[in-house]
């Protein structure tokens, strides 16, 4: 008996099973296709320290680098500090938590740093 057709069928089924999550998401019917990007509220008009896309991707590296310089070398830069972030983004829930929940990350900043609630006006 020739086993070649059976091997081809098994390989085709395995390939379909392995690629099915990618195929499912590629056609817009995936689990994550309809999740809207969170809206960020900015209290102060003006420009951020760096452009928005750069900050979305690299803010954690900037804050970690700033932390290391402040703690180990005593250098306290105002542009890259958490206090500078709070001047435009005073609400932790409307800023930090929204994005971190969206991507499923836990910010480690608030284990040590207090982020005060926005004062009621």
Residue 76 is assigned to a structural domain of this protein? yes
Q: Let me know if residue 78 belongs to a domain.
A: yes
The answer to whether position 3 is within a domain reads: no
Cβ 63 vs Cβ 80: under 8 Å:
yes
pLDDT of residue 62: 80
User: How many domains does the chain divide into?
Assistant: 1
- What pLDDT is recorded for position 119? 47
pLDDT: which is higher, 115 or 33: 115
Asked if residue 40 has pLDDT above 90, the reply is no
Q: Say if 32 falls within a structural domain.
A: no
Has residue 4 been placed in a domain? no
Residue 19, in any domain of the structure: no
9 confidence band (pLDDT: 50, 70, 90) = very high
Q: What is the pLDDT of residues 82-110, one digit of tens each?
A: 777 777 777 777 888 888 888 888 877 77
Asked whether residue 99 is domain-assigned, the answer is yes
Give the pLDDT score at 13: 96
Residues ≥6 apart with Cβ < 8 Å to 32: 25
* Average predicted confidence (pLDDT) for the chain: 77
107 and 59 in contact (C-beta within 8 Å)?
A: no
Is 13 contained in some domain?
Answer: no
CB atoms inside a 10 Å sphere around CB 30? 14
Domain range for 97 is 37-121
pLDDT > 70: what percent of the chain?
Answer: 79
């Amino acid at each position: 008996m020739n086993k070649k057709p059976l091997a081809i069928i098994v390989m085709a089924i395995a390939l379909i099973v392995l690629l099915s999550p990618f195929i499912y998401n590629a056609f817009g019917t995936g689990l994550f296709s309809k999740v809207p990007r969170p809206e960020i509220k900015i209290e102060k008009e003006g420009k951020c320290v760096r452009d928005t896309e750069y900050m979305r991707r690299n803010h954690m590296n900037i804050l970690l680098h700033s932390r290391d310089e402040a703690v180990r070398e005593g250098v306290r830069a105002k542009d890259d500090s958490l206090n500078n972030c709070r001047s435009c983004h005073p609400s932790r829930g409307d800023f930090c938590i929204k994005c971190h929940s969206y991507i499923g990350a836990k910010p480690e900043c608030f284990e040590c740093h207090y982020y005060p609630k926005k004062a009621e006006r």
